[in-house]
Amino acid sequence: PQIRLEQVREISEFLGRPPLETARSVVVLQQAETMRESAANGLLKTLEEPGKRATLILIAPGVDSLLPTLVSRCQRIPFYRLANENMKLVLEKAGHEEILKHTEVMMMAQGSPGEAIAAWQQLQEIPADILETVTQGIKTIRQALEVGRDISKNLDLEAQLWLIDYLQHSYWAKPQQQLDKVECLKHLEKARKYLLSYVQPRLVWECTLMAMCSF
């Protein structure tokens, strides 16, 4: 979803009012790179004059993903991926040390504790029987058809796309032959493209899992 001009106007109105319960009004705009051009242009004046007790934080993958006119009006604060030892410290302090036991989740996080926690929470939403079957490998055509049906029935599109990411990391971490890993990743990547193209999910999963039976 994109950030619309109407939402930017609401932000400007909010920051234009004096804070009632705190010393400052703060707005955090996540995925700022999804702003439409009209919304970005509408935000310029607020960035120039946010108010004496207002703070507006834009979060984006990088400065290249934002309009130069926005970047020129902001103070840049870069964030870097954490090393494994720092990830361990942060997750343990946050009470999520169980995540450290799951290599796939740590690989998906790529040095971001927040991504690790989000991936762990998403993992808990996947039915245990589906997760066990697809991670251990599909053995028969019948099993592929049954699991494909269950995935399309129990998971929405966002969860299905996440499951593809998880399986790619899971298969890559397994001690399979290099060729087998590459073929598995290719099949899963095709499945992602088909799902994003609104092909019927059950058909996508059935075909993908049948193709991966031999692996």
- Model confidence, pTM: 0.70
Tell me how many helices (H) and strands (E) the chain has: 11, 2
The answer to whether 25 touches 51, Cβ cutoff 8 Å, is yes
Tens-digit pLDDT profile for residues 42-67: 999 999 888 888 999 999 988 999 99
Selected from 2.60.40.10, 3.30.420.10, 3.40.1010.10, 3.40.50.300, the CATH number assigned to the domain covering 5-71 reads: 3.40.50.300
> DSSP secondary-structure letter at 140?
S
Tens-digit pLDDT profile for residues 98-117: 999 999 999 999 999 999 99
